[in-house]
Amino acid sequence: MNRETGSIAAFLYQQCGVPVYENELPEQFQVPSLYIPPPFVFDENDTVSTYKKTYSLNVKLFHADSVQALYAADRIADAVRESRQLIPLLTESGEDTGDFVR
């Protein structure tokens, strides 16, 4: 997991305090939990001499039923919105770098 994805995973963990799985989901996973697969990368030309990459990270939330999952997902989405979509970028040891991921 890279620093950006790890920082997002740490932010999500702070919001809900449930296990966070990455890469592959084990057969016997805990409920509630979050699953963070690798991000999708979309690249395109930006200008004549530059390019742009857009990353999309789809997080899956598992809960006892759909209503509780929706409620938890809404709380997480609100926390991202309240932070103005700025998630603190952490070092590999978990220290705040002063930078952000949007």
1 band by pLDDT with thresholds 50, 70 and 90:
confident
pLDDT at 82: 96
Instruction: Quick: pLDDT tens for 42-79.
Output: 998 888 889 988 889 999 999 999 999 999 999 999 99
3-state secondary structure at position 68:
helix
- Would you kindly state where each structural domain of the chain is located, as residue ranges? 3-101
What is d(CA 36, CA 29) in angstroms, rounded to the nearest whole number? 13
| CATH number of the domain located at residue range(s) 3-101 in this protein | 3.30.2000
Which amino acid is located at 17 in the chain? G
**At CA 97, angle to CA 96 and CA 102, rounded to 5?**
95
User: pTM here?
Assistant: 0.84
